[in-house]
Amino acid sequence: MKSSLKLALGLASAITASTAVSNVAHAEDLTLCWAAWDPANALVELSKDFTKETGIGMKFEFVPWTNYADRFLNELNSHGKLCDLIIGDSQWIGGAAENGHYVKLNDFFDKEKISMDDFVPATVVGYSEWPKNTPNYWAMPAMGDVVGWTYRKDWFSKPELQKEFKAKYGWDLGPPATFDQLKQIAEFFQKRQIDGKTVYGASIYTERGSEGITMGAMDVLYSYGFQYENPKKPYDMEGFVNSPDAVKGLEFYKALYDCCTPPGASNSYMGEGVDAFKSGQVAMHMNFTFTWPGLQKDENVGGDKIGYFVNPKGPGGAQFAQLGGQGISVVSYSDKQESALKYIKWFANKDVQAKWWSLGGYSCLNAVVKDPKFPASQPYAQAFLDSMAIVKDFWAEPSYAPLLQASQKRFHDYVVAGQGSAKDALDGLVKDWTQVFQDDGKL
């Protein structure tokens, strides 16, 4: 009887102890929230090293881009504890900082000797700082991204097409240096028969629901002379947002949509663009650079068939590109902030960043991107570097959501639905944005 009691007690203790041990292990698990896309898979692979080094397990919550903002902004607004770490979009930084969603990282950076000077400056301003251009850091640059272009190198190098193009336009068919050249190439390829198939000029962003058409149109508008506000007077937008040059830029974007996109491409964003390029429908393709590693590896359009170029120059020679990408932040509602900070410290390491790039992520660390071997490390590395040097970003104000919704509506109404003029659209945008800033008490 005694021995059986001992046995029972022993078993009970063993079960209790094993449960406790497993609870401890789970308590250390971190959940990282991000979008469901190729770089996220690379991060899963990379994070295995973190678990090996620290014993801290990693769980991931990836949401498709179409629901990414809705899902995670809801999570942050409701003070949810789902995410310990979040790779949030660059435009969220203002709202996340002012509403207390992110942990301020200045003290942590000082303590761990992580310097923001070690990162590409544009990414620090774009992903980490709020207010902009002040040393207040809410994230560490994690995934550099920018809008650029891919083209069908194999089509561009066909001798008969080169000859015909030169005869028609007077210059050699190749990656365009200006937007006018880009449109000429797009017109040249539109509805052309190549290898027995009808192809089209270019795939551009036209999506209405989230941020697509704004990201695409801004890519052109910046280089045409659009400015968000008077550099000397914040939030003064009249004559900057709707300047004559900006109007010309928007007219150009509509002309490009009307002349040279595939049929039915009225709601096209990242996924649709990749599909159009991969299926051999288009000669050129506007998209964020995160899509490039996947396209490079594609059997049908990758390898020697694909080329990359930086967003072209506007008529006045100005050249800018829309910033994408994100920084990694610690969620202030997380109970595991210490472990989350450990992850950020590990992620800032040069070797980890180098591996991040090799796996298909885009490192923002100078030590990686300024390495002399970097431009030759991938066929798209130089175009990525050149693009990152000319970035501009959308408003990152706490009210970025209504600001974005206004531009989505105004641009789509004009570019896709053909309602009103470019001037009407930009005048309307000034009115909408002014209203948003008035509601915020900033005007």
Partner 1 sequence: MLNRTAENVARATPEPLARKVRGISDKGLAWLFISPTILLLLAINIFPLFWAIYLSFTNYRANRPNEVVKNLGFANYQRILGDKDVWIAMQTTAHFVFWTILLQTLIGFTLAWLIDRKFRGHAFWTTLILVPMMLSPAVVGNFWRFLYEPQIGLFSYVISFVSGIPPTSIQMLSNVSLAPWSIIIVDTWMWTPYVMLICLAGLRSIPEYIYEAAEVDRASNWRQFWSITLPMALPFIMLAVLFRGIENFKMFDMVNLLTGGGPGSTTEVASITLKRQAFESWRTGYSSAFAIILFVAVFGLANIYVKALNKVKQR
In this structure, are residues 280 and 197 in contact, taking their beta carbons and an 8 Å threshold? Answer: yes
**Considering only 56-64, 168-176, 236-244, 404-412, which stretch makes contact with partner 1 by CB under 8 A?**
404-412
Out of 6, 26, 48, 79, the residue judged to bind partner 1 by CB under 8 A: 79
Token pair belonging to 77: 């607004």
**Is residue 405 near partner 1 by the rule CB under 8 A?**
yes
**Is residue 413 near partner 1 by the rule CB under 8 A?**
yes
**Is residue 255 near partner 1 by the rule CB under 8 A?**
no
CB of 16 to partner 1, least distance (A): 38
**Is residue 266 near partner 1 by the rule CB under 8 A?**
yes
**Is residue 414 near partner 1 by the rule CB under 8 A?**
yes
**Considering only 73-81, 220-228, 284-292, 360-368, which stretch makes contact with partner 1 by CB under 8 A?**
73-81
In this structure, are residues 138 and 97 in contact, taking their beta carbons and an 8 Å threshold? Answer: yes
CB of 40 to partner 1, least distance (A): 23
**Is residue 357 near partner 1 by the rule CB under 8 A?**
no
How buried is residue 434: exposed, middle or buried, by Cβ count under 10 Å (0-12/13-18/19+)?
middle
**Is residue 135 near partner 1 by the rule CB under 8 A?**
no
The site that binds partner 1 (CB under 8 A) totals a number of residues, namely: 29
**Considering only 24-32, 42-50, 70-78, 387-395, which stretch makes contact with partner 1 by CB under 8 A?**
70-78
**Is residue 81 near partner 1 by the rule CB under 8 A?**
no
Q: Is the Cβ of residue 90 or residue 311 nearer to partner 1 in the bound state?
A: 90
Q: Supply the Cα-derived Rg of the chain in whole angstroms.
A: 24
**Is residue 10 near partner 1 by the rule CB under 8 A?**
no
Give the list of residues 6+ apart from residue 273 with CB closer than 8 angstroms, or none: 203, 204, 205, 285, 286, 287, 291
CB of 237 to partner 1, least distance (A): 18
Site residues for partner 1, window 197-236 (CB under 8 A)? 208-209
**Is residue 162 near partner 1 by the rule CB under 8 A?**
no
Q: Is the Cβ of residue 69 or residue 340 nearer to partner 1 in the bound state?
A: 69
Q: Which residues bind partner 1 (CB under 8 A)?
A: 70, 73, 77, 79, 95, 98-100, 208-209, 262-267, 398, 401-402, 405, 409, 412-414, 416-419, 439
